[in-house]
Each structure stands twice: as C-alpha cells, then as structure tokens.
C-alpha cells in the first residue's frame, strides 16, 4: 500500500466519527500523492503525514453562562491547535449550533495549508462553540463570550495562538472576548484579530476575505484572457465573506444576482443592493425576507437554490458542503466558467471533480479565501510594531498576496504536471513550506 493510502486508512480509523475531518484530509492527501511519492522514504521515516494529520492538541471545555431569564446554559467550547511549524497557531472561532470537534478539526487542518499559502508566519488552528448567537440579546452574547474566554485565555497569547472571527463571530464577539482576555491576563496584546479600530484592529480586515477572494478571481480570469467586467456572478451566504465579495465584484464591473442565508435565498436580477444587504444583516441581524420586502426587483425563495441561476462565476461563501454534485451539474449546464470558494470546503469532493473534469476553473478555499487570515497576520504585524497602517496600504498588501497565491498555486500544479488543477497546486504549495519547517525542527 502506498504511504498516502496507509495514512488515509489510519486517519479514517482513528477519526471515524468525524466525516468533515476525513473529507478534508482525503482531499489534501490525495492531491499530495506526486509530492509524497517523490519523497516517500524521507516522509515515511519522519512520519510526516501521521504528524500533519494529528493536532498538536485539542482543547474542549464547558462554557456556562446565564441567559436573560436567569437560567444557566451550558455550551461546549473548542480550540484545536493543529500545527505551529511556521508560526503561532492562527485561525477563527466559529459559533454555530452545528459545531463539533470534527468540524473544528477539519477547519484547523485546512488552516495549516491556507496560512502557509499567505507567505506569512502563521500556523494552523481553529476553535469555537456549539453556542447559537441567533436571537440572543447583546447581554447574552457578552455573557457567553466572557465565559468562553475565561477558559480559552489559559491556552492562547500573541505569540502562542491568535484566534479571530468565523461564522457567528464578528466584531461584537471579538470585542467582548478581547475585553475578557485583558481582564484575565492584565495585558493589552494582539491576542485576537478582527479587533475594533479603536483598540488595535486593522483597517481592511472586515473586507479582507471577500475582497481577497475577488482579487484572486480577477487574476485567474485575467490569466485566462477574461475580465470581471460584465460577468454575472452567483454568491451564496449573506455574512461577512459574502457581503464584501459582492461589493468588490460590483466594483470590478460584475453583476452579483444572488445571496442566501440559513433559511432562504434571494434572486435579484438587477444586482444585489449591498447597502441594503448590510443594513439587513450587519445592523438589524434580520432574515433575507427583509431584503426582499425592501427591494421590488428581488425574489425570495425558501430553502437552497442559488446554484440553479445562470452565471459566469460562482462564489460559495456560506458554509461547508453547500455545493453538491447536482449543483455542479447545473452550473456546468448553465455555462459557469469559474468557481472560487469564499467559504471553507463548501464544495463536496465529487462536485469538485465534476467541475474540474468539465473545464471549470476551480480554486478551493485554502487559496481563494486566504485574504482574511493574511490580513489578520498584517494586523498582528501592526500590533507588534504598535502602529496602524492606512486602508490603502493594507489593501495593496492584500492584493499583492492574493495575486502571488494565484501564481504560486498555478506554478505548483504545473511543476507536478497537473496544469490547471488549482486544488492540487494549493495543497502542494502550502504543504511544501510546512514540511520543510517540520523536517528542520526535528521530531516534535
């Protein structure tokens, strides 16, 4: 049996109840086959694949908090510190009722390769809780965040592990958590990113994931002799990534005609009104029905359905496994040319393969959504030097990083005879740097 197959078997056996983690590892290891085969003896002797698929540590803890009725509630908190070969653990905190250890592990595992691709010194980690922020008052959110950070503060630090936002965790939650960390530790340090601008946050971090996704997509289109101008774009999600992806796509001259949330989706043939979407989602924290009610050109549909709309470019920006094989078939049938993932693992493995086999330019989240964490690393740099850079300076660095990521993954795919396979290119380019660092640092 090949080394890759051996380790895949082992990972499946050891993590049998974690389907998302197995999915993420299967995708990565399968695409690393040519690199592993070229270095099989060295990697096997050093147990590189066993080590990279086993987190340094996984922390699970109770999060008790009191709701507005005086009732004590209990959630489960997680932090998976996966790999710090190239820098302190770095990755977001997801607050969503679906969160479990397997989901946090898949996200932490992907973060290793994504963070490596940014070219900045950050390792891979992820955390969160099965807490559901929906419908909670600001006081309840604060009570949860304070309790969560009371325990998490024991394991993180500006040079140890630097969490940030993800689904359900935005500026409000980061603020409450930062305040509690400061109380627990008595130090004002860059222990979280995505902070408010008045206490160490970076300009352009809010926009960075969505903007970065479009900078990479634009470069991909350019390298195929195309531009964003006049293209029809379908976006899923209506959160941080989706909103700023939509905004940047429109600034580039494309028309974004959909968005979605956990209950339904919008088709707006005149183009999504970003100011209205921001008002509904960022300010009112309301359902998309409110968007439809305020916008005569928009249709609201219950359930899921954005992938059935005709488009040139599809940008999944909501959550994992939201673009399935039938959606991939529909996209291809409708003439979609390009799919770039704003979310983490939104496309299933069979859907990814179908898109690739049918000539769709497909860039996975590890490359396409790396702009968020890259800008987090820029926030860490600013915190370290106790300075703040202008929006233009951060945005220019972000653009540069995303263009470089595209060329690095394209080159890595070509080096291994897989031109156009950006999934393999991203995994290989991300892996090479981490492996070099692991080998240099010995058995640890």
Task: State the residues that interact with ligand 2IT by CB under 6 A.
Answer: 90-92, 114, 164, 166, 193, 344, 372-373, 376
Q: Which two tokens stand for residue 247?
A: 């905004």
* Only segment of 43-51, 161-169, 355-363, 382-390 that touches ligand NDP (CB under 6 A): 161-169
Which listed option, ligand 2IT, ligand NDP, none, makes contact with residue 83 (CB within 5 to 8 Å by class)?
Answer: none
Cα separation, 19 vs 376, in Å, equals: 29
Compute CA 413 distance to the chain's CA centroid, rounded to the nearest angstrom: 22
Closest chain position to ligand 2IT (CB): 92
Q: What is the DSSP letter of 283?
A: I
Whole-number minimum distance, CB 333 to ligand 2IT, in Å?
A: 31
- Give, in order, the Cα–Cα distances in Å from 385 to each of 322, 378, 380, 389: 40, 11, 9, 11
- For the question of residue 126 being annotated catalytic, the response is yes
- Give, in order, the Cα–Cα distances in Å from 188 to each of 182, 191, 196, 283, 376: 6, 8, 14, 28, 17
Cα separation, 3 vs 11, in Å, equals: 12
φ/ψ of residue 197, rounded to 5: -65, -20
Judged by beta carbon, residue 123 or residue 255, the one nearer ligand 2IT is: 123
Which listed option, ligand 2IT, ligand NDP, none, makes contact with residue 342 (CB within 5 to 8 Å by class)?
Answer: ligand NDP
Which listed option, ligand 2IT, ligand NDP, none, makes contact with residue 91 (CB within 5 to 8 Å by class)?
Answer: ligand 2IT
306 near ligand NDP, rule: CB under 6 A: no
Ramachandran class of 407: left when φ > 0, alpha when ψ lies in -120 to 50, beta otherwise: alpha
Which listed option, ligand NDP, ligand 2IT, none, makes contact with residue 193 (CB within 5 to 8 Å by class)?
Answer: ligand 2IT
Say if CB 64 and CB 134 are below 8 A apart. Answer: no
Whole-number minimum distance, CB 319 to ligand NDP, in Å?
A: 4
Contacting residue, 87, 88, 342, 364, with ligand NDP by CB under 6 A: 342
Restricted to residues 365-404, the positions that interact with ligand NDP (CB under 6 A) are: 369, 372
Task: Using DSSP bridges, classify how beta strands 123-129 and 72-83 pair: parallel, antiparallel or unpaired.
Answer: antiparallel
Which listed option, ligand NDP, ligand 2IT, none, makes contact with residue 241 (CB within 5 to 8 Å by class)?
Answer: ligand NDP
Q: What is the DSSP letter of 198?
A: G
- DSSP codes, 32-59: THHHHHHTHHHHHHTTHHHHHTS-SEEE
Contacting residue, 87, 123, 127, 165, with ligand NDP by CB under 6 A: 165
Q: Which of 126, 231, 248, 281 is catalytic?
A: 126
Judged by beta carbon, residue 3 or residue 200, the one nearer ligand 2IT is: 200
Q: x/- binding map, residues 228-247, to ligand NDP, per CB under 6 A?
A: ---------xxxxxx-----
């Amino acid at each position: 049996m090949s080394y890759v197959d051996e380790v895949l078997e082992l990972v499946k056996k050891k993590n049998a109840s974690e389907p998302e983690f197995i999915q993420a590892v299967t995708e990565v290891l399968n695409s690393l086959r040519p690199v592993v085969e070229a270095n099989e003896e060295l990697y096997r002797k050093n147990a590189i694949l066993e080590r990279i698929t086993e987190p340094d540590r996984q922390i699970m803890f109770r999060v008790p908090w009191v709701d507005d009725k005086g009732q004590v509630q209990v959630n489960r908190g997680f932090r998976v510190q996966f790999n710090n070969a190239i820098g302190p653990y770095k990755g977001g905190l997801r607050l969503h009722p679906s969160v479990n250890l397997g989901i946090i592990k898949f996200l932490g595992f992907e973060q290793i390769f994504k963070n490596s691709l940014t070219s900045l010194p950050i390792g891979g980690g992820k955390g969160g809780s099965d807490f559901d922020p929906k419908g909670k008052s600001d006081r309840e959110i604060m009570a949860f965040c304070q309790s969560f950070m009371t325990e998490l503060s024991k394991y993180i630090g500006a040079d140890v592990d630097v969490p940030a936002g993800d689904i359900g965790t935005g500026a409000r939650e980061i603020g409450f958590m930062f305040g509690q960390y400061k109380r627990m530790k008595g130090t004002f340090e860059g222990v979280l990113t995505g902070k408010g601008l008045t206490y160490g946050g970076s300009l352009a971090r809010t926009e960075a994931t969505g903007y970065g996704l479009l900078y990479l997509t634009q470069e991909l289109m350019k390298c195929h002799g195309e531009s964003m101008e006049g293209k029809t774009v379908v976006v899923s999600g209506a959160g941080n990534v989706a909103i700023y992806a939509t905004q940047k796509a429109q600034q580039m001259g494309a028309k974004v005609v959909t968005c979605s949330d956990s209950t339904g989706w919008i088709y707006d043939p005149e183009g999504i009104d970003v100011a209205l979407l921001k008002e509904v989602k960022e300010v009112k924290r309301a359902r998309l029905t409110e968007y439809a009610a305020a916008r005569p050109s928009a249709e609201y549909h219950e359930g899921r359905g954005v992938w059935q709309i005709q488009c040139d470019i599809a940008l999944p920006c909501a959550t994992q496994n939201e673009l399935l094989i039938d959606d991939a078939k529909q996209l291809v049938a409708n003439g979609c040319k390009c799919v770039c993932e704003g979310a983490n693992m939104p496309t299933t493995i069979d859907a990814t393969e179908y898109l690739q086999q049918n000539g769709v330019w497909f860039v996975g989240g590890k490359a396409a959504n790396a702009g968020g964490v890259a800008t987090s690393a820029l926030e860490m740099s600013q915190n370290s030097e106790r300075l703040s850079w202008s929006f233009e300076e951060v945005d220019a660095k972000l653009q540069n990083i995303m263009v470089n990521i595209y060329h690095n993954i394209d080159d890595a795919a070509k080096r291994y005879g897989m031109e156009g396979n950006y999934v393999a290119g991203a995994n290989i380019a991300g892996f090479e740097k981490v492996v070099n660092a692991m080998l240099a640092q010995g058995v640890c």
